[in-house]
Structure 1
C-alpha cells in the first residue's frame, strides 16, 4: 500500500489524523482522480479518432462520444457490464444468444446511458435499457448496473458546464479542511445510500476497508467538487443518485407497459423515506 493510499484509507475510514497541512491529502486525492482520468481521456480520444470521419460527420457528436465510452466500458468488462449482459439474457429471444450478440445489445444500452439526454423516442433502445436494468428482479443481480445507470442519469439531468483538468485541480487545491471534511461526509453518505438500495434496504452502512474503496471515494469527492457548481444549491450526491434512479425507473416503467409501481419499488429497495433520506438537508 502506497503512502497516498494509506492516507486516503485513513481519511475515508474517519480515523483520527495528526494535525498536518492539507496538501498531502489533496495530493493523494489528486493522484487518485487525475491519474485515472487522464488515462481514460486518452483512451476516449484514441477511440474517437478511430471513428471514420464520414461517420463522425453524419452522427450527432454526443452519440459518437457515447459510443466511444461504451466501447471502453465493454473492453474493461466491469460488474455493471456483466450484470447488464446477464439481465438481457433473460429475454426469451436472447436466452441462447452468443456473447457477441449480447455485447452488441449491451453496447446499445451503454450508448443510450452515455448520451447527453436519454433517447426516449428510440423504442428499441429503451426496451433494451429496461431489460438491462431488470427493475423487476433482485437488486443483488443488478447492483452495479443500477448504480452505474443512476450516475449516468444524474449527469443527464444536470446542467452541463464546460470545465477542464486545470480548473478541477485548482478547485481541489483551493479547498479548506472544513470543505474536505464536509465533502467526505457527502461521499460516505452517497456510498452508503447506494449500498442500501443494492441490498433492498436491509443494509444501511457500508464500511470502506480497502485501498480500492478509498480510491473510489477519493474520485467521487473530487468529482463532486466540480459537479456541485452545476446543481441546485443544497443538493447532496446521495439525493441525486436516488432521484436519478427513481427517474430511470419511471421512464423504464412506461416502456412496453408494466412496472411494479413506485411504492412497491421503494419498499422493496429501501429507497423511500424509511431509508432515512432528507429531501432538502442543510449544510452543517
Structure 2
C-alpha cells in the first residue's frame, strides 16, 4: 500500500486482497523467527513491481480483465499464468463467437443455385466481407473513400461503391488473390492506397486490415475450430506468451511508424480498446503462426511481408489507376517505379530485419 500510494495510485486493503485471492498477487513469503518472535513476512521485488503496475492501470468500474491486459501490453508486466490466460480467453473467444455467428447468419441467408455445387469457403468469405462493410469502422470508411477516387466510381451511389468494396474484401479473405483479374486488382490498389502521402489513423487502420486479412493467404491452409484454439492458447507456455506479446506490440508500433511517416511518435496502447485488440491479435497468432514457416514473426507475416506482397501484386494496377488520373505526358513508368520503390524501402526499413525468401 505504501508503494502504490507513493506512485500516486493508492489501493485499499480490500483491493489488494481481491488481487491476491484471484492469483494476481502471490501471498508474501513467511519466515518463522523462532520462539515468541513470531513470523516475518516479505514480498519479492517482482510482486511489488506487479502491484505497482496493477495499481497504475486500475480504475473504479474497470473490468479486472482490462486492467490485466493493460498491464500486460503497456507495461510488459509479468502477470501470473492463470489470470493472464483467463483474461485472454474471456476477451478473445466471446468476440470470435459473436463474429462467427453473425457471419453464419449472413451466409445461411444466401440461397444456393439449384443444381450447382456451393463453394463454402467463398460463401464464408463473401459473408465476412458483407458483415465488415455493414459494420463499417475506420478502415472500411477510408477504403470506401479511397475507391471513390476511381473515375468510374467518383459519382457512383453508395451501393455501387460498397459492391466494389465487398468484391475486394471477398478476394482478400479467400484462399488466393486473383492477380490475373485486372479490374479487381485496380479496385484493390485504389482501396488500400499504399502510396498515399497522407498520414492518419485511418490510413493505419486500412493497412492493418489489408495486411492482416491477406496474411491468411500466405500460410498453409488448415481447418481449425474454437476448441483447438482454446487448447493451443491454454497450453502455450507463459514465457512463449510473453515473447508473442512482444511480437504483436512491435508489429503495431512498426505499422504505426510506417503509416505516420515516423512523425507522430510511438503508438499509445494505453486504452482499453487497444489492449483488447492486442489481446485478440495475440490469441489468434498463437494458433495462426503454426500455418507459417517456423520462426515467422507476427510483424514479418502481418505487417511487412503481406504489405510488400500487396505492393508488388498491384504494381500494374497502380500504373493503370494513375494513368486515368494524370495527363498522358506524365512519365508513368518512372512514376510507378518511384512510388513502389519508395514504399518498399519505407516498409522494409521499419523492421530492420532481413527479408525471408520462400
| TM-score > 0.5 by shorter chain | yes
Q: CA deviation at 1:152?
A: 1.7
Counterparts in 2 of 1:261 and 1:152: CA distance versus 1, 3 Å: same
Confirm whether residue 193 of structure 1 aligns to residue 269 of structure 2. Answer: no
Confirm whether residue 87 of structure 1 aligns to residue 163 of structure 2. Answer: no
The C-alpha deviation readout for 1:88-136, integer Å capped at 9, x for no partner, is 1111222222222211111111112111100112221111111112233
Post-superposition, which runs of at least 4 consecutive aligned residues in structure 1 deviate over 6 A? none
**CA distance, structure 1, for counterparts of residue 307 and residue 265 of structure 2:** 18
**CA distance, structure 1, for counterparts of residue 240 and residue 318 of structure 2:** 46
SS in structure 2 opposite 1:137? coil
Contact kept, 8 Å, 1:239 with 1:279, in 2: the verdict is: no
| Residue in 1 that maps onto 2:41 | none
**CA distance, structure 1, for counterparts of residue 263 and residue 341 of structure 2:** 17
Q: CA deviation at 1:238?
A: 0.6
The C-alpha deviation readout for 1:205-258, integer Å capped at 9, x for no partner, is 323111111111101111111012111111111111211101101111122636
In structure 1, runs of 5+ residues without a counterpart are none
Q: How does 1:51-200 map to 2 (within 5 A)?
A: 51-54=110-113, 57-58=116-117, 60-140=119-199, 142-200=203-261
Contact kept, 8 Å, 2:189 with 2:314, in 1: the verdict is: yes
Confirm whether residue 279 of structure 1 aligns to residue 354 of structure 2. Answer: yes
Counterparts in 2 of 1:218 and 1:144: CA distance versus 1, 3 Å: same
The Cα RMSD (Å) is 2.1
Q: Which has the higher contact order (CA 8 A, sep 6+)?
A: 1
2:311 to 249, 268, 271: 249
Contact kept, 8 Å, 2:208 with 2:255, in 1: the verdict is: yes
Counterparts in 2 of 1:83 and 1:175: CA distance versus 1, 3 Å: same
Which TM-score applies when normalising by structure 1? 0.90
What count of residue pairs does the alignment treat as equivalent?
A: 276
2:89 to 20, 23, 30: 30
**CA distance, structure 2, for counterparts of residue 128 and residue 280 of structure 1:** 28
SS in structure 2 opposite 1:257? helix
In structure 2, runs of 5+ residues without a counterpart are 1-61, 321-335
Confirm whether residue 206 of structure 1 aligns to residue 267 of structure 2. Answer: yes
Q: CA deviation at 1:277?
A: 2.7
Q: CA deviation at 1:168?
A: 0.9
Which TM-score applies when normalising by structure 2? 0.72
Contact kept, 8 Å, 1:32 with 1:219, in 2: the verdict is: yes
Contact kept, 8 Å, 2:304 with 2:347, in 1: the verdict is: yes
SS in structure 1 opposite 2:67? helix
Q: CA deviation at 1:51?
A: 1.1
Contact kept, 8 Å, 1:85 with 1:103, in 2: the verdict is: yes
